[in-house]
Amino acid sequence: MTTTSPPRPGDRHLARMARGAEAIRPSEIPTLFAVRGRTDVVSLAGGMPNLDGLPQREIGEETAGLVSLGGKVVLQYGSAQGLPTLREQICEVMSLEGITADRDDVVVTVGSQMALDLVTRIFCDPGDLVLTEAPSYIGALGVFSSYRADVVQVPVDDQGLVPDELRAALQAAERAGRRPKFLYTVPNFHNPAGVTLTVERRAEVLGICAAHDVLVVEDNPYGMLALDGRTFPALRSLDAENVIYLGSFSKTIAPGLRIGWVTAPGTVREKLVQAAETTTLCPPAFTQAVLSRYLARHNWRAQIDVYRDSYRVRRDAVLDALAEHLPAGSRWTRPEGGFFVWVTVPDGVDTDALMPWAERHKIAYVPGSAFYAQGSGRGGRHLRLSFSYPTPERIAEGVRRLGLAIAEFRSHDHHNPRNG
Ligand code: PMP
């Protein structure tokens, strides 16, 4: 029996939508966050920052002060490129990773997600080639798909993107007469792989890209969240001409501010500002002013330390629990920062097929397949666990449930419990 869903208002307009609209697929992101209100489910799925340490009082005071003193300015339209003082402060943040930049090099965006969208928009025509890691950030794959770019994914290992694999992918593209528009990479505390590109490999990856004349898009929302407080040299600090850098305050202050940025070589930056203007006219003047005032008047470095401490105990909790509850034949990465652990389950367990068992044990994770471009069929033995949000106790309980789900899956000969 086939079931057809009832017609919905607007259905008749679907046929006239652009082909680009067809390529905008339902994102997994809302479903990842959907279970967060369910107290019976332990969600290690969505990667929400933990805001227990949020400097709420300070942000509240700055906001109130701004409205009463400068409301007529901060609630007015602002510059398309972003508030100049905030751009200067962003340069100060980037200097911690070795980047020398001027405020004119920076464009403020509505989260780094918007920066990723703008970069793809100005570089990619339908059918253009983009390289990224295998696995890769879901939100980036969604953007590439919406611009109908072709994605080739290059494997990572414990030291990040594998240079030889990158070389091979570029050579294969060259043989096919194609030059990728850019390499999109998350070098620090990768989402979802949890790995960090070693310093030696940074130079190598940049050298390979330069030799093949391929631009690099460096997405770095987690770089300040090393659990031991260190920072790695940004790719942009090593090659300012050939790297577009995306940054964000979502994980270091709060995602609800929706403030990210892109730092790019002059001509690219100009085009990005023009593109941004057609999307938003200007980024929100109000949240920029709140953030700028907060950064100017409070110890934001100490605030990041507070977040780091809270993530360290959570990372330890997830690693301890994995060692205790996952069966022999499982492997996982050992993140030294960020939010994610990438788990490989034993041969014979498929993480998409495992979902109903996980549901029964009330544990949510993201199956590996979500992090591969559509149709690649990879990711079957992998899953992503996010340790950023729940308490350490809930994380341990979640991993225990995951262990139970895997054991049950293996003992039931893959019979789907949803079918009775
Ligand atoms: N890039 C990566 C790798 C991410 O994990 C995220 C958020 N999960 C983003 C970009 C987008 O972050 P935002 O738009 O909040 O800055």
Residue 420, pLDDT above cutoff 50: no
Assign domain 70-297 to a CATH class.
Answer: alpha beta
Q: Residues 5-62: pLDDT tens digits? A: 888 999 899 889 988 888 887 766 555 556 666 788 999 998 999 999 898 999 999 9
Contact 6, 128 (CB under 8 A): no
Residue nearest to atom 8 of ligand 1 (CA): 47
pLDDT value of residue 181: 98
What distance in Å separates the CA atoms of residue 298 and residue 287, rounded to the nearest whole number? 16
Residue nearest to atom 11 of ligand 1 (CA): 113
Distance 70 CA to ligand 1 centre (A): 30
Residue 136, pLDDT above cutoff 80: yes
Contact 368, 378 (CB under 8 A): yes
Distances from the Cα of 264 to the Cα of 118, 126, 377, 380, angstroms: 12, 23, 34, 36
What distance in Å separates the CA atoms of residue 215 and residue 122, rounded to the nearest whole number? 13
- Structure pTM? 0.94
Q: Residues 287-313: pLDDT tens digits? A: 999 999 999 999 999 999 999 999 999
Q: Which of 137, 144, 263 to mutate to test the pocket of ligand 1 (most atoms within 8 A of CB)?
A: 137
Residue from 381, 370, 315, 391 nearest 345 by CA: 381
Distance of CA 352 to the CA centre of its chain: 21
Distances from the Cα of 152 to the Cα of 168, 269, 309, angstroms: 11, 26, 36
**Are 20-54+302-410 and 70-297 in the same CATH fold?**
no
Q: Residues 164-173: pLDDT tens digits? A: 999 999 999 9
Question: 193 falls in which pLDDT band (50, 70, 90)?
Answer: very high
Residue from 284, 262, 233 nearest 87 by CA: 262
Distances from the Cα of 163 to the Cα of 168, 181, 206, 215, 240, angstroms: 9, 18, 10, 15, 20
Tokens linked to 139: 């939100």
3-state SS, residue 404: helix
Distance 263 CA to ligand 1 centre (A): 16
Residue 194, ligand 1, Cβ within 6 A? no
pLDDT value of residue 395: 98
Q: What are the residue boundaries of the structural domains of the chain, listed by start? A: 20-54+302-410, 70-297
Assign domain 20-54+302-410 to a CATH class.
Answer: alpha beta
Q: Cα–Cα–Cα angle for 202, 204, 210, nearest 5°?
A: 105
Residue from 212, 275, 223 nearest 81 by CA: 275
Q: Which of 24-28, 356-360, 398-402 has the lowest mean pLDDT?
A: 24-28
